[in-house]
Structure 1
Amino acid sequence: MTSSAPGTAAEALTGLARIRPPGWLAAPMPSDPAALIGRARQALADDHPGVTGRLCVLSTRYTAAVFAVNPDPPEASLVLKLHADPTAYAGETLAHALLTGTAPVPRLYAEGETSLSLLLEHLPEAADWTRPQMPAVLADRAAAVHTASQRQTAEAAGAMAGFTLATLQGAPAPVWIADPVAYGEVLAAYADAYGPNLVPLGHLDLKPEHLRLRSDGEVMLLDVESVRPDVTGLIDVVTLPAVLRQAGHELSAGRVLGLYLDATAARGANWTASTLRSALRAYAAATGLESLHGLDR
């Protein structure tokens, strides 16, 4: 595989990422600001009675919109997130169920099935990427998500028993896998590194702007709706160099791999540089990923 320098995390996944065709969602988020605010107010009325305040649009896209809800006093502000895609809503609620209390993600206060909404902790302060330790922080935050199932309650572990490595190794490969044999090699490498009971979470939407500060200074990860329990964290390892480059940190692939090895070792993994590189090569073969951008060397 040839090395390249992707500018974004999405570009790092060339060959694996699948672009949906225009118009795939029957009822996307409205583009009109007034319609957006009206939808948010209806969501609060339908699913979150008693939550009132000034609404401010933080972001909007085809599938979702995010608002700040600013009551009095403003320090108590919340985030209201609306989904247009029921699958994405279900995925985000599952992700928070898996990660709350076990990984650095915003607190989830309430869910609204009628409006496909979530009330979340508001984290308006961006992480300071000028700090030299931020590459290690990013690797640590990714590793915390990847190993979250090791710190779950017994109830949550029981609910996710169908996605442990032991179960996945005995099941057919997912339909999106291009090479089932290589996928089996990935799962075997994971089982060697973590044991058979790990749920191999991965597929974070990693971007520099998605790292935020809690009031105590802890760095948190935003937008975990894309996390899935079968893709493994290797997809995120591939994107780490591009995310760091976007944030102004030009690190060699070997240095990035070392940061991730340190972060996962601190959380109980038994990876070595050799076994992680082998797993990455198998992952690329299994998924059709075109390049590992030097991480496999």
Structure 2
Amino acid sequence: MNVAPAGPLDGAARTRPDGWLANPLSTDRSLAERQARTLLGRHHPGAPAPVRCLTARYRTAAFALGAPPRQLLKRHADEAAYLGETLAYEVLADEHVLPALHSTSDSSRTLVVDYLGDGVDLTDTDAFEELIHTVAVVHTASGRWNPAVAEAMSSWHVEIALSSSASDWISSPDDWHHLMQLMADAHGPDHVPLGHLDLKPDHVRRNSDGRLALIDAETLRPDLTGLPDLITLAYIAGPNDRLPPPRWIRHAYLRHVNELGAEWTDVALVNALTAFATATDLHSLHGAQS
């Protein structure tokens, strides 16, 4: 019997033990809503009312602001997740791939962004290709950064990763350095390998102007490359015959990422996917390399 994978990055993802979060948020929606009102008054006084709790989880909580909702308050319990999301807004500020950001508060680990209620039907091939283009925009963003952002992120250049030891969680340092070399060949030595978006069908929305946007960007990192996202796209499409096959997804990604300044070949991209899988103990590429 075939067992479905635990997730798109099964094997590469590291499961955290219970109790790892020192100060979890309340999962009681009424309490979470009362707390949100207090935080809004202190840290986001210009946000619209009323407040309605959408989700109350121990790591994050989300609240619709206004009736009808115009903005969204997002609260993080984990500092790393909050910093990851604020980083995403900083490094992708000119790319228009996230909801508009209105305000942030480091002390409360909260953000107020546009509320995007319109989902996207990814069974429409044009919409799925638009998602691929949006992902490619994220992956190539470092080539379009203004000098201040480029300087602030310079410690994440792939040329530095090539000359540094691989992180402890990497299973095969040789394969990881091979991957970094392939990244440098395709994007240049000063490329910052942004990737690891939390890609799910429900996280793909549309702005009021019709442009596609990605919500929940707290997982974005400047050191994991964009390959987890390409693998996740293949995973999303895999079990649904109404979605494009993984090979089509890889070829569409190749076209879009190269139009945005990269110089991948299909052979190099397949080699990079294989190196990523070996380096991280990824259980499956979900057909992305086929």
**Paired residue type of 2:28:** D
1:266 aligned to 2:262?
A: no
Give CA deviations for 1:84-115 in whole Å, capped at 9, x if unaligned. 11111111111111111125111111111121
Distance 1:269 1:50 in 2: 41
Distance 1:51 1:105 in 2: 19
Q: What is the rounded CA distance, in whole Å, between the counterparts of 1:137 and 1:23 in structure 2?
A: 39
Mapped pair 1:28 → 2:21: no
Q: Matches of residues 77-116 of structure 1 in structure 2 within 5 Å?
A: 77-116=70-109
TM-score by length of 2: 0.94
Cα offset, 1:59, TM superposition: 2.2
Partner of 2:221: 228
* Total equivalences in the alignment: 289
Q: Deviations over 1:169-210 (max 9, x none)?
A: 122212221111110000100111111111100101110011
Q: Is the 8 A contact 1:102 1:151 kept in 2?
A: no
After superposition, residues 110-259 of structure 1 pair within 5 angstroms as 110-245=103-238, 249-259=242-252
Structure 2 residue aligned with 1:51: 47
Q: For 1:204, what is the secondary structure of its paired residue?
A: coil
Counterpart Cα distance in 2 of 1:6 and 1:278: 25
Change in 2 beyond 3 A, CA 1:246/1:134: farther
Q: Which moved more, 1:137-146 or 1:228-237?
A: 137-146
1:61 paired to 2:54: no
CA displacement, residues 64-93 of structure 1 (integer Å, 9 cap, x when unaligned): 01111106xx47x21110011111111111
Q: Which amino acid aligns with 1:51?
A: A
Q: Percent identity?
A: 38
Q: Is the 8 A contact 1:47 1:113 kept in 2?
A: no
RMSD of aligned residue pairs (Cα, Å): 1.8
2: CA distance between counterparts of 1:175 and 1:39? 39
What CA deviation, in whole Å up to 9, does each residue of 1:34-69 have, x standing for no partner? Answer: 210112112112211233411112223220011111
Q: Distance in 1 between matches of 2:238 and 2:274?
A: 22
**How many Å separate the matches in 2 of 1:210 and 1:81?**
14
CA distance in 1, matches of 2:88, 2:243: 30
Q: Which residue of 1 aligns with 2:37?
A: 41
Q: Secondary structure at the match of 1:11?
A: coil
Q: List 4+ stretches of structure 1 deviating above 3 A.
A: 4-7, 245-250
Change (3 A) 1:248 1:204: farther
Higher relative contact order (CA closer than 8 Å, sequence separation 6+)? 1
Matched, 1:18 2:14: yes
Q: Is the 8 A contact 2:28 2:56 kept in 1?
A: no
Tell me by how many angstroms 1:6 deviates: 5.3
Deviation at 1:233, TM superposition (A): 0.5
Letter of the 2:60 counterpart: A
Q: Within 1, Cα distance between the matches of 2:135 and 2:263?
A: 16
Amino acid at match of 2:236: V
**1:28, 1:20 → 2: CA distance?**
14
Q: Distance in 2 between matches of 1:118 and 1:241?
A: 30
SS in 1 for 2:7: helix
Structure 1: how far apart are the matches of 2:241 and 2:44? 40
Tell me by how many angstroms 1:138 deviates.
Answer: 1.7
Q: Is the 8 A contact 1:5 1:293 kept in 2?
A: no
In 2: Cα distance, 1:220 partner to 1:265 partner = 21
Q: Which deviates more, 164-173 or 84-93?
A: 164-173
TM-fit CA distance, 1:132: 2.6
Q: Structure 2: which amino acid aligns with 1:159?
A: A
Say whether the 8 Å CA contact 2:29–2:55 is kept in structure 1. Answer: no
Q: Distance in 1 between matches of 2:203 and 2:219?
A: 13
